[in-house]
Amino acid sequence: MTEIYMTANNGAILGPISKVLGWIMDKIYMVLSNLGISSIALSIVLLTVLIYLCLLPLTYRQQKFSVLTRKMQPELKAIQNKYKGKKDQASMMAQQEETQRIYDKYGISPAGSCVQILIQMPILFALYRVFYNIPAYIGSVKNIFSDLTTGIMGIDGFADKMQTIYDNASLKGVSVDLTTTDNSAMKNYLVDIIYKLSDKGWTSLADAFPTLTDKIDAAHASLAKVNYIGSLSISDTPLNQIKYGWSNGAWLLVIVAVLVPILVYVSNVVNIKLMPQAGMENDQMATQMKTMNAIMPLMTAFIAFTTPVGLGIYMFTGAIVRAVQQFFLNKHFEKLDLEKIIEKNKEKAAAKREKRGERRDQIYNAATMNTKKSMASKATISSDKADALDKAEKARKNAKAGSLAAKANMVKDFNEKKN
C-alpha cells in the first residue's frame, strides 16, 4: 500500500466509497455505544459481516460458476480435441461458436467469476483509508478529542508546542499545516496528530499543556477503550507495533501483533480449501490455479502485516464469514439438480444462438449489398468508357478532308494495312 495522508480522502473514486463505509461504521459504533460497548474492533467485525451479506448473491453466482464449469469440462475438452492443430480462421471461429454454445447451455459467462473481485478491491482500498485514520470518517470517535482540541487552541503559542510534539513523534504519512487560520482545519490537524501519538507522545502532550491534564487523560482513556484491543492499536500496522514492543520489552504486544497476519493467512487457506475449484481446461491452467491458491494467502498475510490492524480484522472476519457461507453453499450445491438447470438454459441458449445468427445474417447481407454496389459501380465505369470510345471512333470517321484528324486517319489506315 502507498503512504497516504491523514484527514478524509477526497479522491474521485475511493473518497466517496470511504465516506460511505465510514458513515455505516459510525452508525454501527453508535448502536454499540448505546448498548454500552464502545469498540471499533467489534464495529469492524459487524461491518464485515454486513458487507459479505450484501455480496452473498455474487458469491452464490461465483460458486455456481465453479460447479457448472467442472460439469462442462468434458464437453469443452471434446471441442478442443476436435479443432486441435487447426489454425485457419474458419476453424477458430467455429471453435469459438461451439464453445460459446456450451457456456450458453450451462447458463454461465466466462467472466462470471471476476465480478466479485472487481467489487471487493475498491472496498478493500477504501477501508484501508478508513482504518488508517478512523476519526476522519467516524464522527463518534472524533468527538472524543473535541474538548481537548478546543482547550489546546485556547492556549497562547499552542501551534509551536504542537509542532514540536509532531516533529518529535516522527509520524509517518501525517501531513499537517499548523499555520492555518481556518479553525475547523486546525482542529482536524490536531486530531490527526493526537490520534497517532504513542504513549510517549501522550506524555509529551501532558508536559506541553499541564493545565489540560484532566482533558488529556480523559481523551487518552476513551481512545484506549475505543481504538485498542488490549495494547494493540487498530490504526497502526502490526509491523510498527512489533518494532515498538521489541524495543520497549512489551512482549505481549509483539505476540499479539504477530498473530494478526498469521490468523489472516490460516483463515484464507481454510477458505480456499472449502471453495469448489472450477475445472481447468488443461494441465497448465490447473498448475497456474494451484500456484495462485498458494500465493493468495501469503499475499493477504503480507497485506495484514503492513497495513492497519483494522484491515487485518476485516480480512480475518471476511475469511470466517466466507467459510461459513461456503459450508452452506456446498450443502446446497450437493442437492442441486444440474440437469434441471441445463434444461432451463436450453431455451435461453436457443434464443441467444438465434440472436447471434440474426446478427451474422445482417452482417452478411450488408456485406453482400456493399459488394453488389461496388460491382455495379465498376460496371457503370466500364459502360462509360465504352461510350467514350464509340464517340471517338465516329468522330475519326467523319473527319473533314485535309484536316489534322483526316491526316491522322490516313496514317492509322496505312499502319493497319502494313500490319
For a pLDDT cut of 70, what percent of the chain falls above it? Answer: 73
Measured in whole angstroms, how far is the alpha carbon of residue 359 from the centre of its chain?
33
Burial class (CB within 10 angstroms; exposed 0-12, middle 13-18, buried 19+) of 309: buried
Residue-level pLDDT at 133: 82
Mean pLDDT on 258-278: 85
Residue-level pLDDT at 381: 46
Burial class (CB within 10 angstroms; exposed 0-12, middle 13-18, buried 19+) of 271: buried
**Could you tell me the three cell numbers for 150?**
478546543
Residues 6+ apart with CB under 8 A from 148: 194, 212, 215, 216, 218, 219
Mean pLDDT of the chain: 79
Q: How does residue 79 score in pLDDT terms, banded at 50, 70 and 90?
A: confident
* Phi and psi torsions of 233, nearest 5°: -80, 135
Task: Give the range among 133-137, 219-223, 356-360 with minimum mean pLDDT.
Answer: 356-360
Given a cut of 80, whether residue 161 has pLDDT beyond it is yes
DSSP string, 179-245: T---HHHHHHHHHHHHHT--HHHHHHHHHH-GGGHHHHHHHHHHHHHHHEETTEESSS-HHHHHHHH
Residue-level pLDDT at 277: 59
Q: Which residue has the higher pLDDT, 116 or 368?
A: 116
Q: How does residue 111 score in pLDDT terms, banded at 50, 70 and 90?
A: low
> With the C-alpha atoms ordered 321, 323, 324, 329, is the resulting torsion angle positive or negative?
positive
**Could you tell me the three cell numbers for 364?**
452478411
**Could you tell me the three cell numbers for 369?**
449489398
Residue-level pLDDT at 370: 53
Residue-level pLDDT at 4: 42
Q: How many Å apart are CA 311 and CA 298, to the nearest integer?
A: 15
Mean pLDDT on 126-148: 87
Q: Are strands 232-233 and 228-229 parallel, antiparallel or unpaired?
A: antiparallel
Mean pLDDT on 325-330: 84
- Taking residue 113's Cβ as centre, other Cβ atoms within 10 Å add up to 18
Residue-level pLDDT at 259: 94
Residue-level pLDDT at 283: 60
C-alpha atoms less than 13 angstroms from C-alpha of 417 in its C-beta half-sphere: 5
Mean pLDDT on 28-41: 89
Residue-level pLDDT at 210: 93
Residue pLDDT, tens place only, 347-366: 666 666 666 555 555 554 55
Q: Which residue has the higher pLDDT, 342 or 24?
A: 24
